[in-house]
Chains A and B, each alone.
Chain A
Amino acid sequence: MPVSSYLHPTAMVWDAFELQERAYFPDGTEVRPIAEPPVLPKAPAGLRLRGVEKAFGDNRVLRGIDLDVPAGQFVAIVGKSGCGKSTLLRLLVGLDEPTGGEIDFIDDGGDRVAPDARIVFQEPRLLPWFSVADNVAVGLGDGVPKAFARREAELVLEEVQLSEKAKEWPAKLSGGQRQRVALARALVSRPGLLALDEPLGALDALTRISMQQLLTRVWRELGFTAVLVTHDVTEAVHLADRVIVLDEGQVTLDLAVPQPHPRHHGDPELALLEGRLLAAVLGES
């Protein structure tokens, strides 16, 4: 069954209905011939937020957020449930419009660039009727030649250590593996910024630790800007360069985590930072 999923009816019928095969990516860059090496990481995109607000009716969820994220940084956002973390991420990736303020994507020099973000949710949101590789290829957008898309997908799958599952159905994977496929799908177009909304929240403790290591490694190899929302302060201080605490729609703490990678569980300095963060999240500072 898994061996032939490329020959599966759904795949075959869909291929037949592919409207037109362009030799260009959606952004206009030409698609390279199959034999060339993988796409080089694009330049990371930083963020500049000025007075960002979001209200749902009378519910003022975000109340003026100012934030500068340099290109390539790994930022973690923590905060109580319902404080607006997901809302903020959805604004960053353009899923919703802010009701006030401005969000700009910037390059190394601080100049504005085109928005270039992807998002990974807590649930992987894979298409159960597509093979793992085809799910990843969804991340390249419409109109990319099939053979190219699959090859590109397999390269990213290698990155998240899932090459051998390329032709499987998502239903055959574990929770951690599915989340890695979702990560690969988000990264296959080499975005400048990756937003992650509690991506490891549904995984068991051991899987979570290995996923954290994987995330750190992928971030360092591909060099995108990462914005991670998590409810786990330990996770935040282990992964991020900087942790931001959100409370009642405002930034209440902005903490640098200068420790070099790889970081080890049980590092006393990290534990100290963790304590400060926890106090801030719980409103005890």
Chain B
Amino acid sequence: MTTIDTFSEGRKLRRATSGTPRTLTEGTLTEDRTQASQNPPKGAADSVQATAGKPAGLRTISRGTWLPYLVPVGLVLVWQVLSSTGLISDRIMPSPVAVVAAFWERLLSGELGRDVAVSGARALSGLLIGGSIGFLLGIANGVSKLSEQLTDTTLQMLRTIPHLAMIPLVILWFGIGEEAKLFLTSLGVLFPIYLNTYHGVKNVDRDLVEMGKIYGMSSWSLFRKVIFPGALPSIFVGLRYALGIMWLTLIVSESIAANSGIGYMANTAREFMMTEVVVLALVIYAVLGKLADVIARALERWALSWNAAYQA
């Protein structure tokens, strides 16, 4: 019983830890370990109590399952009660039921699907363009001294400009059409991907690179068998960080000007004081953000399964 208990606690903690943005994989690794090793006493204490009481095991495990959801579900219930009794005006905050109704209505009319598709396509194309540029620059600067000397300082300088501060300039350049959104999103994701790719390539084990040369690997072989896989954990850190920036940039640029997408949905709803649709937009952004992170993490676990830190 102790083992079951400790195990589930350990997994929960691990998940919680890896959810926070990371700068270095190694750092998280050791963090995970220390947290896991601090666990057993706690789990052990729990099960001692459980055996001292009666039905024990089942109760302990199921408590761990539902307890985390107690607070959010309670909050929603309280919110609903306050709305229904009129204590919160629906001008300020719609009731949860109203949000669900808005969701259902827009889903059936097909509007919601269209808006989500438009926003998703914007986010992905920004990620693809900015991510590719960042990735290629990171690889080039990690591998080639010439390229590094030529561009790294420039990139490090540009990186310090908050990309959202460029909005006025971007509007002057591109107007308020798709190009502006694409440019901002690409710019936003470029730097985290660049930095982490560059860092990853720079930190590939020199001994492994020497080994590759000893065995006569061509530059291409060396890249695909040694350098790229070695940099991959760091590249994934960059990707997950970039996903956060991608949504943030999209939200901001869609609320400046758009005639489709989730930001547009929220803005038109504001004009008609349809608070439930505004809140719905927030929820959808949150769900999309979470979804992107879950996909990135699954991809990471799959691609890095050789690494003990990512083994299920």
Interface residues of A (CB under 8 A from B): 1, 5, 8-10, 14, 17, 19, 26, 93, 95, 118-119, 121, 123, 125, 127-130, 138-139, 141-142, 169, 171, 185
A171 CB contact (under 8 Å) in B207, B211, B220, B308: B308
Chain B hits for A93, CB < 8 A: 214
Q: How far is the CA of A17 from the CA of B218 in the complex (A)?
A: 13
Contact digits for B197-213, partner A, Cβ 8 Å, 1 yes 0 no: 00000000001101110
> Are A127's CB and B225's CB within 8 A?
yes
Q: Could you name 26 residue pairs across A and B whose Cβ atoms are closer than 8 Å?
A: A1-B305, A5-B306, A8-B305, A8-B306, A9-B302, A9-B305, A10-B229, A10-B303, A14-B225, A17-B224, A19-B220, A93-B214, A125-B210, A125-B211, A127-B208, A127-B229, A128-B306, A129-B229, A129-B306, A138-B211, A138-B212, A141-B215, A142-B221, A169-B306, A171-B306, A185-B215
Q: Cα distance A188–B212 when bound, in Å?
A: 15
A141 and B212 alpha carbons, distance in the complex (Å): 9
Contact A10-B221, Cβ < 8 Å, known A123-B207, A138-B215, A142-B216: no
Alpha-carbon separation in the docked complex, A141 to B224 (Å) = 14
The answer to whether A95 touches B214 (Cβ under 8 A) is: yes
A8 to B226, CA, bound (A): 16
A130 x B225 contact (CB < 8 A): yes
Given known contacts A14-B225, A127-B226, A171 and B215 CB-to-CB distance under 8 angstroms: no
Q: Which 7 A-B pairs have the closest CB atoms?
A: A129-B229, A125-B211, A129-B306, A141-B216, A169-B306, A142-B221, A125-B207
Contact digits for B221-246, partner A, Cβ 8 Å, 1 yes 0 no: 10011100110100000000000000
A139 with B225: CB separation less than 8 A = no
How long is the Cα–Cα vector from A118 to B215 in the complex, in angstroms? 8
Identify the interface centre among B210, B230, B306: most chain A CB within 10 Å of its CB.
Answer: B306
B207-A138 in contact (CB<8A) = no
The reply to whether B307 and A128 contact each other, CB–CB distance below 8 Å, is yes
CA distance A9 to B225 in the complex (A): 13
Docked Cα-Cα span, A140 to B289, in Å, equals: 45
Which residues from chain B sit less than 8 Å from chain A, CB to CB? 207-208, 210-212, 214-218, 220-221, 224-226, 229-230, 232, 302-303, 305-308, 311
Report if A1-B311 is in contact (Cβ < 8 Å); known contacts: A10-B306, A26-B216, A93-B214.
yes
Q: Complex Cα distance A261/B306, Å?
A: 41
- Smallest Cβ-Cβ distance to B211: which chain A residue: A125
Q: Please report the C-alpha to C-alpha distance between residue A128 and residue B308 in the assembled complex, in whole angstroms.
A: 10
Residues on the A chain within 8 Å of B303, using CB = 9-10
In the complex, besides A125-B211, A128-B307, 7 extra interface pairs with C-beta distance below 8 angstroms are A9-B305, A14-B224, A26-B216, A123-B207, A127-B225, A128-B306, A138-B215
Say yes or no: B307 contacts A171, CB within 8 Å.
yes
Residue ID in chain B nearest A169 by CB atoms: B306
The B interface is mostly helix, strand or loop, or mixed, namely helix
The residues of B that contact A129 with a CB separation of less than 8 Å are 229-230, 232, 306-307
B2 to chain A, nearest CB (A): 26
B208 touches A125 (CB 8 A): yes
Q: What separation, in Å, do the CA atoms of A185 and B217 have in the docked complex?
A: 14
A8-B232 Cα distance, complex, nearest whole Å: 15
How far does the alpha carbon of A123 sit from the alpha carbon of B207 in the complex, in Å? 9
Interchain CA distance A179-B101 in the complex, whole Å: 64
Q: Which B-chain residue is minimally distant from A19 (CB atoms)?
A: B220
Residue of A nearest to B232 (CB): A129
On whether the beta carbons of A119 and B220 are closer than 8 Å, the reply is no
Contacts of A171 in B (CB 8 A): 306-308
Alpha-carbon distance A185/B225, docked complex (angstroms): 15
Residues in B with CB closer than 8 Å to A139 are: 215
- Which of A10, A121, A139 has the most chain B CB atoms inside 10 A of its CB? A10
**Set of chain A residues within 8 Å of B307, measured between Cβ atoms:** 128-129, 171
CB neighbours of A138 from chain B (8 A): 211-212, 215, 217, 225
Shortest distance between the CB of B29 and any CB in chain A (Å):
13
Q: Output the nearest chain B residue to A121 by Cβ-Cβ distance.
A: B207
Q: Is the CB of A142 within 8 A of B211?
A: no
| Residue from B218, B225, B232 having most chain A Cβ neighbours under 10 A | B225
CA distance A88 to B232 in the complex (A): 35
Listed residue (A1, A5, A123, A138) with the most chain B CB atoms within 10 angstroms of its CB: A138
Q: Which residue of A lies closest to B223 (CB)?
A: A17
* Distance between Cα atoms of A127 and B209 in the complex (Å): 10
Complex contacts, B221 vs chain A, CB 8 Å: 142
Residues of chain A within 8 A of B214, CB atoms compared: 93, 95, 118-119
Name the distance in Å between B152's Cβ and chain A's nearest Cβ.
27
Q: Which residue of B lies closest to A10 (CB)?
A: B229
Shortest distance in angstroms between A21's beta carbon and chain B's nearest beta carbon?
Answer: 13
Give the docked Cα–Cα distance between A169 and B304 (Å): 11
Chain A residues within an 8 Å CB radius of B210: 95, 125
Q: Which residue, of B208, B211, B216, B218, has the highest number of chain A Cβ atoms within 10 A?
A: B211
For the complex, give the distance between the alpha carbons of A200 and B156 in Å.
45
In the complex the two chains form, what is the Cα distance from A93 to B207 in whole Å? Answer: 16
Most B CB within 10 A of own CB, among A1, A129, A130: A129
Q: How far is the CA of A150 from the CA of B305 in the complex (A)?
A: 21
